[in-house]
Amino acid sequence: MTIIHRCQIELHDSIYYATREIGRLYETEPVIHNYALCYALGLVDSETYSTTVAEEHSYRYFCPTQVPKYEEHLTLLNEQKIYVTPARSLSHSSTLNTWKYANNNYHVEMEKTQKNIPSFGRAKEIAPESIFEFFLISEKPLKLPRWIRLGKWMSKAEVEIVEIGESGRSHSESEYVFPYPLNPLDVMFTHQVISYDVVNMPPVSLIQNVKIRGHSYQLNSLKIPALMQYRFQG
């Protein structure tokens, strides 16, 4: 049997990450990527979850290069049969903040510049008290931290497991609609994706309102795609 945790996140600070950039407006989409959730929940490079990575890929204390190593980090979650879906908003509101770079130069020489670096901009952030929901799928019940940090500002958020259920994989494939966002790389090799809406965001765009055909788990009346794993190439 597979254990399905229905989890909710309540923001205690405004959260910001640049889903899209329109001129000097940096907008945060009310969707949290499943890669980000894996790191925020402490599932990556963890002795608790048996996902400790090789020393050359470790990032906990020192990161020599600013190059993500998603494949090296998340493949270990596949080995432990742990999968996290992206989170959707159950209720949210947005705030618009203007920021400006401080300039502390004491001596300036007017020279012709080769770069145009913006000195101010506007950030559309998700406001505190917004609530997100996602699913954690594993072979055994997992304990999650109560408090995590999310986004560019390392905003504080509270995690709660609101429901835990057991489900076996369906015996036959069926066609159904999954109302939560999905990472297309994680489902396209085991399911037939029929229709969807795209959520453009780095590092991998997500899909939502997905009509899909394949095996599933059952949590109450909700069908959740089975056999999902972190995948990075075909």
pLDDT at 103: 62
Inform me whether the pLDDT recorded for 60 exceeds 90.
no
**Helix ranges, the chain (H):** 34-40, 70-79, 184-187
pLDDT at 25: 87
Q: What share of the chain is helix, strand, coil (3-state, %, to 5)?
A: 10, 40, 50
CATH class for the domain made up of 2-101+119-225 = alpha beta
Pick from 26-30, 115-119, 157-161 the range whose average pLDDT is largest.
Answer: 157-161
Q: Percent of the chain beyond pLDDT 70?
A: 89
Contact indicator for 114, 169 with CB cutoff of 8 Å: no
pLDDT at 158: 98
pLDDT at 23: 81
Contact indicator for 134, 37 with CB cutoff of 8 Å: yes
Contact indicator for 213, 194 with CB cutoff of 8 Å: yes
Long-range contacts of 110-117 (CB under 8 A, 24+ apart): none
Inform me whether the pLDDT recorded for 13 exceeds 90.
yes
pLDDT at 83: 97
For 172, which DSSP code?
A: S
Structure tokens belonging to residue 134: 């996602």
pLDDT at 136: 97
Angle at 129 between CA 124 and CA 131, to 5 degrees: 90
Residues 142, 32: Cα–Cα separation, whole Å: 20
Single-letter amino acid code for the residue at 158: E
Inform me whether the pLDDT recorded for 58 exceeds 90.
no
pLDDT digits (tens, 9 = 90+) for 120-132: 788 899 999 999 9
Residue-averaged pLDDT of the chain? 90
β-strand partners of 3: 138, 166
pLDDT digits (tens, 9 = 90+) for 172-203: 999 999 999 999 999 999 999 999 999 999 89
pLDDT at 117: 61
pLDDT digits (tens, 9 = 90+) for 140-161: 999 999 999 999 889 999 999 9
143: Cβ–Cβ under 8 A, 6 or more apart, which residues?
none
pLDDT band with cut points at 50, 70 and 90 for residue 162: very high
pLDDT at 115: 62
